[in-house]
Structure 1
């Protein structure tokens, strides 16, 4: 986890859809507050973004695996917000050059961490370990005086 690179979650724009961003960055946001079936909704939304950005349909096994990694990280971050933070408020997926960034905002006060020591045979508690293993970097952004946080993760674009 990056403790030295305080990324800002940025503007979330409208509740859903593409948001023009400077420098060719592509951003999609989805409001999840009060929604039902949140994890499948977040995965479908992210899958649609991957289609629009040319990650899917994947012409090779490596590209298909990269897209599946993105969907798995989305699932893990959204599930963690459901289990530990009273549910997510917003999902943001953005693509800037060759880095795809996932952000999940919630009202929780907790700090996500990979369970240590990680025990593969123990049920549950693998979410942040998976995120840590699949991502280039991840972290948490908090705004002083505002309840909640944004958990973000970045993955590299397939070659």
Structure 2
């Protein structure tokens, strides 16, 4: 359970980095594996930051390891779906989170939370790093 916005992004990133290391996502001598880990950490930062900015912070953060990769889930209390901002210059800060998800995640989306829980879950999936 994750509540609030204070240091939540760094806590979720740290948790993710530890889990990926435990799961062997950082093969010795593999830059590709390290780059994929950085992709996952950036994606975690994006979805957790969006929950902070648009929904009062995440309520739950879940990592699921699968045979093909990892799934990240961030639950929040807002029922508003993620919406892209109007196109803007990449040189301007902010408003690029969903573009980052589109480019780095294998798949992503959102689901309305089940009975008894208000809000939604934003999820993303990232494939395993390729082995040399």
TM-score by length of 2: 0.89
- For 2:124, the equivalent position in structure 1 comes to 153
Question: Size of the alignment, in residue pairs?
Answer: 129
Structure 1 residues not aligned, in runs of 5+: 1-30
Distance 2:75 2:13 in 1: 16
The SS at the match of 2:108 is: strand
Is residue 65 of structure 1 aligned with residue 7 of structure 2?
no
- Of 33, 50, 56 in structure 2, the residue corresponding to residue 86 of structure 1 is 56
Could you say if the C-alpha distance between residues 93 and 40 of structure 1 is closer, same or farther in structure 2, counting changes exceeding 3 Å? same
More helix by share: 2
Could you say if the C-alpha distance between residues 80 and 153 of structure 1 is closer, same or farther in structure 2, counting changes exceeding 3 Å? same
More RCO (CA 8 Å, sep 6+): 2
- For 1:119, the equivalent position in structure 2 comes to 89
Structure 2 residues not aligned, in runs of 5+: none
Could you say if the C-alpha distance between residues 77 and 58 of structure 1 is closer, same or farther in structure 2, counting changes exceeding 3 Å? farther
Deviation readout 1:37-56 (Å, 9 max, x if unpaired): 10000000000100110013
Q: Is the 8 A contact 1:115 1:129 kept in 2?
A: no
Aligned alpha-carbon RMSD (Å):
1.7
Runs of 4+ in 1 over 6 A off after TM superposition: none
Matches within 5 A, 1:8-19: none
- For 1:19, the equivalent position in structure 2 comes to none
The SS at the match of 1:101 is: strand
